[in-house]
Structure 1
């Protein structure tokens, strides 16, 4: 019987052995011992060798003790595993990047990890736990948040992503996120809280920043719309004031009335300047400042600024002058309006702060490539100067040297800030050189593309008499101004207040066989703006030949290109000036073409008219004849002319010069004195002879001679020449002489 039991136990031992491995080997050893003892017991008992009754209990005792030993061994192994697990958990807690804590409902800390110590900027775990005895008062920035935490964890048994502000040891505030659960006893009473705490200050800041960014973008979009509307709303009444006073000044006014009207006109222009400054600054701040890229004449822009500022300088009895280095290319590509704006800001300030002496604009070539010109502009004055300390405030928004300057000289303090941003957006920089009491030099640089050297716009002026023109504007005052201008041009004019009325008027005129020749459209109109009206006109087969002119009070960059793509022939900004409208219509009804080598494709038949194109047209009407036999001198003179956007026809003797003047109406002649076949003196006398066949006997003639002796100039004048240039030619004097006589 005992052998059977032992056999069963042996099977059990073998199974345990396969499962327990090392522990199983020990069990096998015990089992074998028991087996042998049991077997011995049976043998002895069966053969009555000895009385073995006591051996079985002895074997049973061994079995019991062996099982006890095995169980003890298992407990020992389990304890070791618990210790290993505890060590692992301790390592996780101590090395966790987030804070781990245990705290009592009363607000005392029982356990924290190093990350939490670091998070709250304490020196050690002991320092943190020893310092804090009431979390609600000492750690929570708002004690009500602690009560809210306790309420939620009591109600639900846990909290998830509980966010609140906590106080660090150095009294700084951090935003934290807490995840915790409540440990309870059998009665359901809370013993302590355990959980994690994470510093989410940066994450929260990033979210707030993203929200702020989106709000700013929304604000910028709103600001952009606001600026467009405000530009229209402000410029429209200003257009009325300036336009009406211009018409008023053309009427018969007595001296006092004319003085009042002039004052209104000048004050309106000054107010418009301030409004433009504010609108421009707002556009820059909103990131909505756009630039236009068109061909323009740099010299013309600088001269326009000088003409404007010279009047103000004369009122203060100070000098105003300019110098453009001959190396600076005159024909460039960029935004003349923004360039003029910077020059007016700087020169206007210079005149304002100069009591005696003068102001001088200097334009120099900084550097150039085959396609680009980097130009340096300097505005020098002999004014009050600016201290080094005060210079630090310049170019900042709404900033002037000091309050006394604002009281004495006025101004918004925006001009220099706008100029700085514009210069930077034109690929340049801006700065100042000044000493207090010794005047100032403001400078800025800008990058422009260069135009081809010989580009010429030719215009055959059109006859406006009897032309039928439709004016469209929702503002009756603007229509009165346009009708007044058009009437003075001997045009037939009709005006309507909306796009719908305009389409009706155009279609009715077509049906009656007396169509409109042109239409002047306001941009900003309700229901149907000028752009959409233009599209509707061009899409109507019966109306598509009507010439469209856009007048915009909005004046946003890029609008001109948009209008050209629609089919407009001209784009001008308000307030529109009488002579500007006249030049525009004269050009619209005339013939306009561009001649330039390698710059236009064959299908380019017309030019989109802007005020800058009108300026170039005026200059391009200068037709120059150069009479010079020396090839080097010919090349040099043509080079100087091309730098300033001028071209010339060349002949190599006086006889050919006369033949040219018989066939073409030139504006001016540049006459070399010594030439073969017929010299300059004889040619001039022949030109002045009323019996000769030249088209203009009074054409200005400028002598160019290498003779610089006393009396040579008188000899030229006596021969009938108007002016005199000695060789080698000074480029600045050369151009100044040409401008002087062509303007006359």
Structure 2
């Protein structure tokens, strides 16, 4: 555009006319001087021609300068126009990007709101299911101990088994939700390795026996008795793998084995294996079974039921703790699920404490509640009756309050040794009731309080401890767990009092 404009100005009439006139004058002057013989005329003519030519050259230079100046102005103007267009385009793009950014922020807010609503929904559903399940499983286990008729006993065991399956599905859904949201925390506490494995064995022993399977576990002698890590998550991993193995094995055996892989000054690496002689997994499905909601075939899903979440949860839990999962399976011959994880070593002093606690908890509980007064704060009448029966069987003296306000009234009237506190209640919940008790003067404010709740959300234990509760028991709970919690807390409280009153 600028070059064509310059050419057009240079070829304009004024510039070209001056140029033609200059050339013509030079040619004419040269001709006249060539054919004129008068020296004086030639001198004057030459002088006049030179002046005229110089004048024309000056005019021509001025015209060229004006043309160049006009060209520069045109270029500057054109550049300014382009810059203006570029600014406008950038402004337009900025507005578009701002609009997109606002949409993304809005979408993120909607997604976070949706995720929060989902979490609240799952927590509420979990609470509403766990509360009646506590009654179902608790009374079924209580009734199981008193039944003599074999048929009735077997029917009751099927009720307990079905309730266990329902709880397993609920726990899978909650764990999936937490893993999806990245809402998983791992503890690093001392635990007895054999106890963790043995508890899984005892939980699954009945199911294996019902199917006629040879079920066993083996722990290498070189493994330390006490380790540091997350025993709850380890138990969950082994439980998922073992229940899967028993579910998909019709005959033969299921075996849990533990082996020391590597040992360092402060850590050990352990290889866990759960092997079975079940239906096996085809090669093209062996990686997919670790995906969420994935099962081997639709026929498998219909035949064996389940959520398709167990193995994917196992894989995520192991990997989040720095471990690895492997699968070796032959279709029709069985599967070996293996995972490797690191655990910390503990000091000899800590090991002694854990083993002493372990021996104390293994002692048979017989009427240990005589003379101990318990205040049960629970609004659900079924759960009230269940806790009453469980504790009265051990000789405890029971008082029941339907909410926090009634509990405070009862506590003003008489003294108790321990309070079992539900968290979600009408009028006055367990949190606020605990805060009020902790502000009381003297021994009244120091009474042991154990939270009993169907809530399973992250940080619930920490929240209970922060407001002054001594421990936490999650519904549904079994009788032995309830007894152990109550005994340990009362024993600890009494030992503190004895030390305080010692002269």
- TM tier, shorter chain? 0.7 to 0.9
Residue 394 of structure 1 aligns to a residue in which SS? helix
> What is the RMSD computed on CA atoms of the aligned residues?
3.6
Give me the whole-angstrom Cα distance separating, in 1, the residues matched to 2:494 and 2:241: 36
Residue 524 of structure 1 aligns to a residue in which SS? coil
Residue 370 of structure 1 aligns to a residue in which SS? coil
- 2:306 — aligned with what? 411
Give me the whole-angstrom Cα distance separating, in 2, the residues matched to 1:77 and 1:473: 101
User: Which of 206, 212, 218 is 2:113 aligned to?
Assistant: 218
Unaligned runs of 5+ in 2: 1-50
- 1:184 — aligned with what? none
Which of the two has higher C-alpha Rg? 1
Q: Determine if the alignment matches structure 1 residue 501 to structure 2 residue 400.
A: no
More strand by share: 1
CA contact 2:368–2:395 (8 Å) conserved in 1: no
- 1:472 — aligned with what? 377
Give me the whole-angstrom Cα distance separating, in 1, the residues matched to 2:147 and 2:199: 29
- 1:165 — aligned with what? none
- Relative to structure 1, the CA distance from residue 219 to residue 451 in structure 2 (aligned partners, 3 Å threshold; closer, same or farther) is farther
- 2:416 — aligned with what? 516
- Relative to structure 1, the CA distance from residue 212 to residue 540 in structure 2 (aligned partners, 3 Å threshold; closer, same or farther) is same
CA contact 1:295–1:334 (8 Å) conserved in 2: yes
Give runs of aligned pairs for residues 77-116 of structure 1, distance below 5 A.
Answer: 77-87=65-75
CA contact 1:223–1:286 (8 Å) conserved in 2: no
Residue 502 of structure 1 aligns to a residue in which SS? helix
Q: Determine if the alignment matches structure 1 residue 539 to structure 2 residue 464.
A: no
Deviations, residues 683-708 of structure 1 (Å, cap 9, x unaligned): xxxxxxxxxxxxxxxxxxxxxxxxxx
User: Which of 474, 477, 491 is 1:576 aligned to?
Assistant: 477
- TM-score calculated relative to the size of structure 2: 0.76
Give me the whole-angstrom Cα distance separating, in 2, the residues matched to 1:321 and 1:401: 26
- 2:31 — aligned with what? none
- 2:21 — aligned with what? none
Bigger mean CA offset, 560-569 vs 309-318: 560-569
- 1:548 — aligned with what? 449
Give me the whole-angstrom Cα distance separating, in 2, the residues matched to 1:447 and 1:202: 48
Q: Determine if the alignment matches structure 1 residue 429 to structure 2 residue 417.
A: no
Tell me by how many angstroms 1:590 deviates: 2.8
Q: Determine if the alignment matches structure 1 residue 261 to structure 2 residue 162.
A: no
Of structures 1 and 2, the one scoring higher in RCO (CA 8 A, sep 6+) is 2
- TM-score calculated relative to the size of structure 1: 0.53
Unaligned runs of 5+ in 1: 1-61, 101-159, 162-176, 180-196, 510-514, 595-601, 607-744
- Relative to structure 1, the CA distance from residue 372 to residue 532 in structure 2 (aligned partners, 3 Å threshold; closer, same or farther) is farther
Give me the whole-angstrom Cα distance separating, in 1, the residues matched to 2:204 and 2:141: 21
- Relative to structure 1, the CA distance from residue 466 to residue 499 in structure 2 (aligned partners, 3 Å threshold; closer, same or farther) is same
Give runs of aligned pairs for residues 299-338 of structure 1, distance below 5 A.
Answer: 299-338=194-233
Give me the whole-angstrom Cα distance separating, in 2, the residues matched to 1:238 and 1:451: 38
- Relative to structure 1, the CA distance from residue 315 to residue 575 in structure 2 (aligned partners, 3 Å threshold; closer, same or farther) is same
More helix by share: 2
User: Which of 429, 452, 456 is 1:529 aligned to?
Assistant: 429
Deviations, residues 553-612 of structure 1 (Å, cap 9, x unaligned): 223454334434444333222212222222333333335999xxxxxxx9xx99xxxxxx
Give me the whole-angstrom Cα distance separating, in 1, the residues matched to 2:125 and 2:390: 26
- 2:185 — aligned with what? 290
- 1:491 — aligned with what? 396
Residue 228 of structure 2 aligns to a residue in which SS? strand
Give me the whole-angstrom Cα distance separating, in 1, the residues matched to 2:429 and 2:270: 39
CA contact 1:328–1:365 (8 Å) conserved in 2: yes
